[in-house]
Amino acid sequence: MARRRRVYEGKAKVLYEGPEPGTLVQHFKDDVTAFDNKKSATIEGKGVLNNRISEYIMTQLHNIGVPTHFMRRLNMREQLIREVEIVPIEVVVRNVAAGSIAKRLGIPEGTQLPRSIIEFYYKSDDLGDPIVSEEHITAFGWATPQEIDDIMALSLRINDFLVGLFLGIGIRLVDFKLEFGRLWENETMRIVLADEISPDSCRLWDVETNEKLDKDRFRRDLGGVTEAYQEVAQRLGIMPEGGQSKRRGPMLVK
């Protein structure tokens, strides 16, 4: 393949220049990191699974009218996306207390929250992605009030849809992280969902057993990371090429 210009390299993904202006190729690596890079490893097959899972979720979201950067999957590890200007905010939506909110506010992990809670974190590796409020975001110009409104409305729609999608395959969507970008079309700009949605960016617990089917298996040294991601892909009815699928998409779990 011809050499491609690398536009950006993150912890789990690489972005290359796309075949046409305004497009990029998003490549999913097997690398995994946690706690600001203090912990890192390579988990064979993770990138392939995340590419498929994120493709599936982005496509479902597109089908209910959520604008996304996703265009199409190119191969096992790569997808074609629209180039957007990333809003430097990580949006976390929580349904159940876990992770940093459990620690920060002293809420036992697994406690159902009174309602879905949206949090914002400023994207800065140097600062360790600190939690920030809307006030910080607008005062420092990271996003406008209108953009925050759009981001919150989209995040809640995505949450409602994904809670149902995962419940249909026996999985509780505990929390997840989203990123958004600005997409220009002629003179107009709109906010679209960007990055990925995968077990790297979500907490997914089996409804029956509370078994963790996400990156916490790596963060907490629980082992079986690939198997957990594979289980999610299998329950969604998708598997990487050549893989066996036991089930055919979401179904009602009693």
Residues that bind ligand ASP (CB under 6 A): 11, 33-37, 219
Alpha-carbon Rg for the chain, nearest whole angstrom, is: 18
- 203 scored as a contact of ligand TMP (CB under 6 A): yes
| CA–CA dist 22, 16 (Å, integer) | 12
Question: Which residue in the shown chain puts its C-beta closest to ligand ASP?
Answer: 33
Segment 81 to 140, residues that bind ligand TMP, using CB under 6 A: 92, 98-101, 129
CB-based contact 253:207 (threshold 8 Å): yes
Smallest distance from ligand ASP to CB 21, Å: 30
Indicate which of ligand TMP, ligand ASP, none lies near residue 175 (CB less than 5 to 8 Å, by partner kind). ligand TMP
- 52 scored as a contact of ligand TMP (CB under 6 A): no
Q: In terms of CB distance, is 11 or 29 closer to ligand ASP? A: 11
Residue with tokens 């190119």: 74
Short-list 224, 180, 176, 222, CA closest to 53:
176
Short-list 162, 90, 233, CA closest to 246:
233
| CA–CA dist 236, 244 (Å, integer) | 12
**Half-sphere exposure (Cβ direction) of 84: Cα atoms closer than 13 Å:** 24
Smallest distance from ligand ASP to CB 133, Å: 21
| 46, 52, 177, 217: which one binds ligand TMP (CB under 6 A) | 177
Indicate which of ligand ASP, ligand TMP, none lies near residue 219 (CB less than 5 to 8 Å, by partner kind). ligand ASP
| CA–CA dist 180, 88 (Å, integer) | 8
The two three-digit tokens of residue 34, written as one number: 């946690």
- 56 scored as a contact of ligand TMP (CB under 6 A): no
Smallest distance from ligand TMP to CB 44, Å: 21
Residues engaged in binding ligand TMP (CB under 6 A): 92, 98-101, 129, 175-177, 201-203
